[in-house]
């Protein structure tokens, strides 16, 4: 996820302080990985330097000055362009799981046991996500669906690999 573009998009509704941006980000996107304040302020500093935001006001308080940021026309153009670009699909061609299966075969360990343990872990996580999806709002449901579909694809791969372990063992020279 592009944090910079996400913060720019949040600024399109109006100027905000860094604290407000963090809160809005966490509420909309950060359920599982909230932003750290340092990440917000370092990102805003970079966006300011690149002319994508500007300081709309500064308020003095009991602590450090609070800057209010506003998106610039260049920032609106940048986030608009980002929103029109499709995300590159990630094909997972360098899978750690595949590496573990091959190494298990090469070292005389049980690749079938490894696949069984992985299957159990995937199913455990799928139960957790399914429960979260049932209890969640629409945003949570969509996020969980995305993760569940990826886990289902992994399960299909686990089953296919388990069915082909004998052939794979011959090919890798185990």
Q: What is the pLDDT of residues 20-49, one digit of tens each?
A: 999 999 988 877 788 999 999 999 999 999
Taking the C-alpha atoms of residue 119 and residue 103, their distance in angstroms, rounded to an integer, is 18
pLDDT at 91 (0 to 100)? 74
For the stretch 49-58, pLDDT in tens is: 999 999 998 8
Asked whether the beta carbons of 69 and 11 are under 8 A apart, the reply is: yes
Taking the C-alpha atoms of residue 116 and residue 1, their distance in angstroms, rounded to an integer, is 32
Positive or negative, the Cα torsion across 9, 15, 17, 20? negative
pLDDT at 173 (0 to 100)? 82
pLDDT at 96 (0 to 100)? 86
H-type helices in the chain, by residue range? 3-11, 18-28, 37-49, 73-84, 96-106, 111-135, 138-163, 165-172
Give the predicted TM-score (pTM) of the model.
Answer: 0.72
Positive or negative, the Cα torsion across 118, 121, 125, 131? positive
pLDDT at 18 (0 to 100)? 92
Task: State percent of the chain over pLDDT 70.
Answer: 96
Higher pLDDT: 22 or 89? It is 22
pLDDT at 135 (0 to 100)? 95
For the segment 131-139, the average pLDDT, to the nearest whole number, is: 94
For the stretch 153-164, pLDDT in tens is: 999 999 999 999
In what order do the strands lie in the sheet containing 66-71? 16-17, 66-71, 53-59
What token pair was written down for 83? 């929103």
Taking the C-alpha atoms of residue 76 and residue 11, their distance in angstroms, rounded to an integer, is 9
pLDDT at 28 (0 to 100)? 87
């Amino acid at each position: 996820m592009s944090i910079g573009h996400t913060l720019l998009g949040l600024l399109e509704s109006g100027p905000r302080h860094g604290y407000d941006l963090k809160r809005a980000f966490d509420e909309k996107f950060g359920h599982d990985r909230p932003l750290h304040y340092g990440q917000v302020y370092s990102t805003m500093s970079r966006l300011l330097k690149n002319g994508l935001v500007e300081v709309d006001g500064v308020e003095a308080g009991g602590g450090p000055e609070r800057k209010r940021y506003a998106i610039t026309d260049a920032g609106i153009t940048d986030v608009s362009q980002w929103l029109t670009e499709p995300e590159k699909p990630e094909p997972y061609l360098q899978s750690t799981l595949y590496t573990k299966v091959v190494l298990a075969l090469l070292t005389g360990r049980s690749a079938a046991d490894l696949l069984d343990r992985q299957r159990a872990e995937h199913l455990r996580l799928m139960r957790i996500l399914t429960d979260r999806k049932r209890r969640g709002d629409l945003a949570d449901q969509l996020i969980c669906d995305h993760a569940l579909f990826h886990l289902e694809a992994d399960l299909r791969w686990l089953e296919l690999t388990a069915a082909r372990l004998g052939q794979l063992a011959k090919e890798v020279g185990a």
